[in-house]
Structure 1
């Protein structure tokens, strides 16, 4: 009985997942007009779709054309951190503060969990 219930729940979640992914593709006004089934709604749906198509066309016309500039700070998080805080004109004392903060957070968490480990059976602790 539980296995059948579990399968039906999995099927429902898969259906809902697919439904939500389709909802993201179809704009809400067009989808609502097409679902209502009225004759006026069909003309509204076609009018809305032509408006939406013109918006999409104007959006793509306004996009910049040409080559994309290469990113200077690529190659992973460590290279980005190095170029942001350590390299060249951007050099600052922030990495020292970051290390101190990481040591404080790490030390406090180790101390806290060791304290809990040694006092796990004590009352009011």
Structure 2
């Protein structure tokens, strides 16, 4: 399961590597960054990494693939909701039989591990 996740596949160390940059923090970085030359600002020759707080194309690709893999649309119904709709809301007696079966299996399992497995081959006391 973990071998297929994006975190292990890309060699990232935490989910923080996938979270997009904070726009406010990036703006503060730009304001506090050393002032570039007026000629570079006027001609627009600043590098994209300098303005966006060192966001490279590799980082951007990781962020895009992360957001592409997030499920879109409404969440699927939970298993408890489908069980309730199928058996409880329809007034079926099946849940009662399932409960009795679960108690029988659970009771036998407890009895086996507490008593029966120690006396299978020996005389019962």
Q: Which TM bucket (shorter chain)?
A: 0.3 to 0.5
| TM-score, L = length of structure 2 | 0.33
| TM-score, L = length of structure 1 | 0.33
Q: Going by fraction, where is helix more abundant, 1 or 2? A: 1
Larger Rg: 2
